[in-house]
Homo-oligomer: A and B are copies of this chain.
Amino acid sequence: MYDVPLSLEALVNSENTRIGLVLFPRLTQLDLTGPAEVFGRMPGAEVHLLWKTLDPVPSDRGLSILPTTTFNDCPRLDVICVPGGPGQVELMDDDVTLQFLRRIALGCSLITSVCTGSLVLGAAGLLTGFRATCHWSSIDQLSLLGAEPVHERVVRDRNRITGAGVTSGIDFALTLLAHLSGDQVAQEVQLQMEYDPHPPFESGSPRTAPPALIEATRVKISSFVERRRIATERAAARLANFPGSMPTGRKRSTSGPCQSAASLE
Protein backbone atom coordinates (compact mmCIF):
# COMPACT_ATOMS: atom_id res chain seq x y z
CA MET A 1 0.00 0.00 0.00
CA TYR A 2 2.84 2.38 0.70
CA ASP A 3 4.92 1.26 -2.23
CA VAL A 4 4.79 4.59 -4.05
CA PRO A 5 7.18 5.52 -6.86
CA LEU A 6 10.46 6.98 -5.72
CA SER A 7 11.60 8.71 -8.90
CA LEU A 8 10.95 12.22 -10.16
CA GLU A 9 11.90 11.47 -13.74
CA ALA A 10 8.46 10.75 -15.16
CA LEU A 11 7.08 13.89 -13.66
CA VAL A 12 9.80 16.23 -14.80
CA ASN A 13 9.05 15.39 -18.41
CA SER A 14 5.29 15.42 -18.26
CA GLU A 15 3.42 18.31 -19.87
CA ASN A 16 0.59 18.66 -17.41
CA THR A 17 1.25 18.45 -13.71
CA ARG A 18 -1.64 17.85 -11.32
CA ILE A 19 -0.98 19.16 -7.84
CA GLY A 20 -3.36 18.56 -4.93
CA LEU A 21 -3.31 20.56 -1.71
CA VAL A 22 -5.37 19.20 1.17
CA LEU A 23 -7.72 21.57 2.99
CA PHE A 24 -9.10 20.72 6.42
CA PRO A 25 -10.86 22.60 9.22
CA ARG A 26 -8.51 24.73 11.34
CA LEU A 27 -5.55 24.43 9.01
CA THR A 28 -3.04 27.27 9.14
CA GLN A 29 -4.01 28.98 5.90
CA LEU A 30 -0.54 30.29 5.02
CA ASP A 31 0.79 26.71 5.07
CA LEU A 32 -1.41 26.20 2.01
CA THR A 33 -1.76 29.65 0.45
CA GLY A 34 2.02 30.19 0.18
CA PRO A 35 2.59 27.03 -1.90
CA ALA A 36 -0.70 27.57 -3.79
CA GLU A 37 0.57 30.96 -4.95
CA VAL A 38 3.75 29.35 -6.27
CA PHE A 39 2.05 26.33 -7.88
CA GLY A 40 -0.57 28.59 -9.47
CA ARG A 41 2.23 30.24 -11.45
CA MET A 42 3.71 26.97 -12.69
CA PRO A 43 3.30 26.52 -16.46
CA GLY A 44 0.95 23.62 -17.22
CA ALA A 45 0.00 23.02 -13.59
CA GLU A 46 -3.50 22.04 -12.56
CA VAL A 47 -3.99 22.84 -8.87
CA HIS A 48 -6.68 21.08 -6.84
CA LEU A 49 -7.80 22.20 -3.38
CA LEU A 50 -9.05 19.01 -1.82
CA TRP A 51 -11.51 18.20 0.93
CA LYS A 52 -14.37 15.82 1.64
CA THR A 53 -17.00 18.29 0.42
CA LEU A 54 -17.04 21.53 -1.57
CA ASP A 55 -18.22 23.58 1.42
CA PRO A 56 -15.93 26.41 2.57
CA VAL A 57 -13.22 25.22 4.96
CA PRO A 58 -12.47 27.54 7.88
CA SER A 59 -8.82 27.99 8.79
CA ASP A 60 -7.61 28.33 12.38
CA ARG A 61 -7.92 32.13 12.32
CA GLY A 62 -11.17 32.76 10.52
CA LEU A 63 -10.20 32.92 6.84
CA SER A 64 -12.26 30.37 4.90
CA ILE A 65 -11.18 28.82 1.61
CA LEU A 66 -13.28 26.99 -0.97
CA PRO A 67 -12.23 23.49 -2.01
CA THR A 68 -12.24 22.89 -5.75
CA THR A 69 -12.36 19.08 -5.75
CA THR A 70 -13.63 16.43 -3.35
CA PHE A 71 -11.58 13.43 -2.28
CA ASN A 72 -14.02 11.24 -4.20
CA ASP A 73 -13.70 13.25 -7.42
CA CYS A 74 -9.96 13.75 -7.20
CA PRO A 75 -8.16 12.68 -10.38
CA ARG A 76 -4.78 10.97 -10.34
CA LEU A 77 -2.28 13.47 -8.98
CA ASP A 78 1.40 14.01 -9.65
CA VAL A 79 1.98 15.84 -6.37
CA ILE A 80 0.08 15.68 -3.09
CA CYS A 81 0.78 18.30 -0.43
CA VAL A 82 -0.57 18.33 3.14
CA PRO A 83 -0.37 21.60 5.08
CA GLY A 84 -0.49 21.82 8.87
CA GLY A 85 -2.22 23.79 11.59
CA PRO A 86 -4.13 22.99 14.80
CA GLY A 87 -6.77 20.89 12.98
CA GLN A 88 -4.01 18.48 12.02
CA VAL A 89 -4.43 16.85 15.45
CA GLU A 90 -7.96 15.71 14.56
CA LEU A 91 -6.86 14.86 11.02
CA MET A 92 -4.38 12.27 12.31
CA ASP A 93 -7.41 10.37 13.69
CA ASP A 94 -9.48 10.83 10.56
CA ASP A 95 -9.64 7.58 8.68
CA VAL A 96 -11.30 9.03 5.57
CA THR A 97 -8.44 11.48 5.08
CA LEU A 98 -5.70 8.96 5.89
CA GLN A 99 -7.17 6.43 3.46
CA PHE A 100 -7.49 9.11 0.77
CA LEU A 101 -3.85 10.05 1.25
CA ARG A 102 -2.70 6.43 0.99
CA ARG A 103 -4.80 5.87 -2.12
CA ILE A 104 -3.80 9.06 -3.94
CA ALA A 105 -0.12 8.67 -2.99
CA LEU A 106 0.01 5.48 -5.03
CA GLY A 107 -0.16 7.53 -8.22
CA CYS A 108 1.93 10.47 -7.04
CA SER A 109 5.50 11.15 -8.08
CA LEU A 110 5.95 13.50 -5.14
CA ILE A 111 4.49 13.22 -1.64
CA THR A 112 4.90 16.45 0.27
CA SER A 113 3.90 18.51 3.28
CA VAL A 114 4.33 21.85 4.99
CA CYS A 115 4.55 22.44 8.75
CA THR A 116 2.72 19.84 10.89
CA GLY A 117 1.25 18.37 7.73
CA SER A 118 4.23 16.01 7.88
CA LEU A 119 2.70 14.43 11.00
CA VAL A 120 -0.43 13.70 8.95
CA LEU A 121 1.67 12.08 6.22
CA GLY A 122 3.39 10.16 9.00
CA ALA A 123 0.07 9.05 10.49
CA ALA A 124 -0.87 7.71 7.05
CA GLY A 125 2.36 5.67 7.05
CA LEU A 126 3.79 7.73 4.21
CA LEU A 127 6.95 8.96 5.94
CA THR A 128 8.17 5.75 7.53
CA GLY A 129 11.89 5.48 6.92
CA PHE A 130 12.14 8.95 5.38
CA ARG A 131 13.98 12.03 6.51
CA ALA A 132 11.54 14.89 7.02
CA THR A 133 10.93 18.23 8.68
CA CYS A 134 8.00 19.88 10.48
CA HIS A 135 7.17 23.01 12.47
CA TRP A 136 10.02 23.45 14.98
CA SER A 137 7.65 23.06 17.95
CA SER A 138 6.72 19.51 17.03
CA ILE A 139 9.45 18.15 14.78
CA ASP A 140 10.54 15.67 17.47
CA GLN A 141 7.16 13.92 17.11
CA LEU A 142 8.11 12.73 13.62
CA SER A 143 10.27 10.00 15.12
CA LEU A 144 7.21 8.49 16.83
CA LEU A 145 5.89 7.83 13.31
CA GLY A 146 9.05 6.22 12.01
CA ALA A 147 10.41 9.29 10.23
CA GLU A 148 13.78 10.85 10.86
CA PRO A 149 13.50 14.52 11.95
CA VAL A 150 15.84 16.86 10.10
CA HIS A 151 16.11 20.43 11.35
CA GLU A 152 16.21 22.12 7.98
CA ARG A 153 13.75 24.44 6.24
CA VAL A 154 13.15 22.17 3.27
CA VAL A 155 14.02 18.48 3.35
CA ARG A 156 14.04 16.18 0.36
CA ASP A 157 14.47 12.44 0.73
CA ARG A 158 13.84 10.57 -2.52
CA ASN A 159 10.30 11.56 -3.55
CA ARG A 160 9.27 13.08 -0.24
CA ILE A 161 9.72 16.84 0.13
CA THR A 162 8.73 18.43 3.41
CA GLY A 163 8.79 22.05 4.55
CA ALA A 164 9.21 23.32 8.10
CA GLY A 165 6.78 25.76 9.80
CA VAL A 166 4.22 27.97 8.05
CA THR A 167 6.27 30.43 5.91
CA SER A 168 8.65 27.61 4.97
CA GLY A 169 5.95 26.64 2.51
CA ILE A 170 7.15 29.34 0.13
CA ASP A 171 10.76 28.08 0.13
CA PHE A 172 9.43 24.53 -0.11
CA ALA A 173 7.22 25.30 -3.12
CA LEU A 174 9.91 27.18 -5.02
CA THR A 175 12.30 24.28 -4.39
CA LEU A 176 9.70 21.85 -5.66
CA LEU A 177 8.98 24.07 -8.68
CA ALA A 178 12.69 24.08 -9.55
CA HIS A 179 12.63 20.25 -9.47
CA LEU A 180 9.56 20.11 -11.67
CA SER A 181 10.08 22.94 -14.15
CA GLY A 182 13.73 23.84 -13.84
CA ASP A 183 15.64 26.64 -12.14
CA GLN A 184 14.71 29.30 -14.67
CA VAL A 185 10.97 28.93 -14.17
CA ALA A 186 11.39 28.92 -10.39
CA GLN A 187 13.55 32.03 -10.56
CA GLU A 188 10.96 33.78 -12.67
CA VAL A 189 8.19 32.90 -10.23
CA GLN A 190 10.36 34.14 -7.37
CA LEU A 191 10.76 37.43 -9.26
CA GLN A 192 7.03 37.67 -10.00
CA MET A 193 6.32 37.20 -6.30
CA GLU A 194 9.05 39.68 -5.36
CA TYR A 195 10.39 37.10 -2.94
CA ASP A 196 13.36 39.02 -1.65
CA PRO A 197 12.51 38.73 2.04
CA HIS A 198 13.68 41.18 4.67
CA PRO A 199 12.26 39.97 7.98
CA PRO A 200 12.11 42.82 10.49
CA PHE A 201 13.66 40.69 13.25
CA GLU A 202 16.07 37.81 13.70
CA SER A 203 13.50 35.72 15.50
CA GLY A 204 12.06 33.35 12.93
CA SER A 205 13.72 30.22 14.21
CA PRO A 206 14.84 28.75 17.54
CA ARG A 207 18.34 29.14 16.11
CA THR A 208 18.00 32.92 16.07
CA ALA A 209 15.22 33.97 18.45
CA PRO A 210 16.06 35.27 21.94
CA PRO A 211 15.96 32.38 24.47
CA ALA A 212 13.45 34.18 26.71
CA LEU A 213 11.07 34.54 23.75
CA ILE A 214 11.38 30.87 22.91
CA GLU A 215 10.68 29.90 26.49
CA ALA A 216 7.64 32.19 26.74
CA THR A 217 6.25 30.75 23.50
CA ARG A 218 6.95 27.22 24.69
CA VAL A 219 4.99 27.76 27.90
CA LYS A 220 2.10 29.31 26.00
CA ILE A 221 1.60 26.37 23.65
CA SER A 222 2.80 23.49 25.80
CA SER A 223 -0.63 22.03 26.51
CA PHE A 224 -1.55 22.07 22.83
CA VAL A 225 1.72 20.45 21.79
CA GLU A 226 1.12 17.80 24.45
CA ARG A 227 -2.34 17.13 23.02
CA ARG A 228 -0.69 16.79 19.61
CA ARG A 229 1.82 14.33 21.05
CA ILE A 230 -0.93 12.12 22.45
CA ALA A 231 -2.60 12.06 19.01
CA THR A 232 0.74 11.26 17.38
CA GLU A 233 1.27 8.37 19.80
CA ARG A 234 -2.21 7.09 18.99
CA ALA A 235 -1.42 7.28 15.26
CA ALA A 236 1.87 5.46 15.84
CA ALA A 237 0.09 2.66 17.70
CA ARG A 238 -2.37 2.23 14.82
CA LEU A 239 0.49 2.16 12.30
CA ALA A 240 2.25 -0.56 14.25
CA ASN A 241 -0.89 -2.71 14.07
CA PHE A 242 -1.48 -2.07 10.39
CA PRO A 243 -0.31 -4.95 8.17
CA GLY A 244 2.16 -3.77 5.58
CA SER A 245 2.81 -0.47 7.27
CA MET A 246 6.03 0.88 8.67
CA PRO A 247 8.27 -0.11 5.77
CA THR A 248 11.86 0.88 6.24
CA GLY A 249 13.15 3.54 3.87
CA ARG A 250 16.00 2.51 1.64
CA LYS A 251 18.29 5.29 2.72
CA ARG A 252 18.85 6.67 6.16
CA SER A 253 21.45 9.22 6.98
CA THR A 254 22.23 11.32 9.99
CA SER A 255 20.28 14.51 10.30
CA GLY A 256 21.69 17.99 9.96
CA PRO A 257 22.67 20.19 12.88
CA CYS A 258 19.97 19.84 15.54
CA GLN A 259 18.46 22.53 17.71
CA SER A 260 17.21 21.94 21.20
CA ALA A 261 13.96 20.22 20.30
CA ALA A 262 11.76 22.35 22.55
CA SER A 263 8.02 21.92 22.17
CA LEU A 264 7.33 25.39 20.81
CA GLU A 265 4.98 26.68 18.16
Contacts and interface: CB of A to CB of B under 8 A. Distances in A.
Interface string A1-43: 0000000000000000000000000001110011011001100
Contact of A170 (B64, B167, B264): B167
Contacts of A190: 199-201, 203-204, 209
B188 A213 contact: yes
A65 B195 CA distance: 23
18 contacts: A29-B33, A29-B36, A30-B34, A33-B34, A40-B60, A41-B61, A62-B68, A63-B65, A153-B198, A164-B194, A167-B193, A170-B199, A171-B198, A174-B199, A188-B213, A188-B217, A191-B209, A191-B264
Given A186-B201, A187-B201, A196-B205, 5 more contacts: A63-B65, A164-B194, A166-B195, A167-B197, A175-B200
Contact of A201 (B153, B165, B183): B183
A199 B195 CA distance: 7
Contacts of A107: none
A178 interface: yes
Query: Taking each of A115, A166, A187, A191, which has the highest tally of chain B beta carbons within 10 Å of its own beta carbon?
Result: A191
A184 interface: yes
A189 B170 CA distance: 17
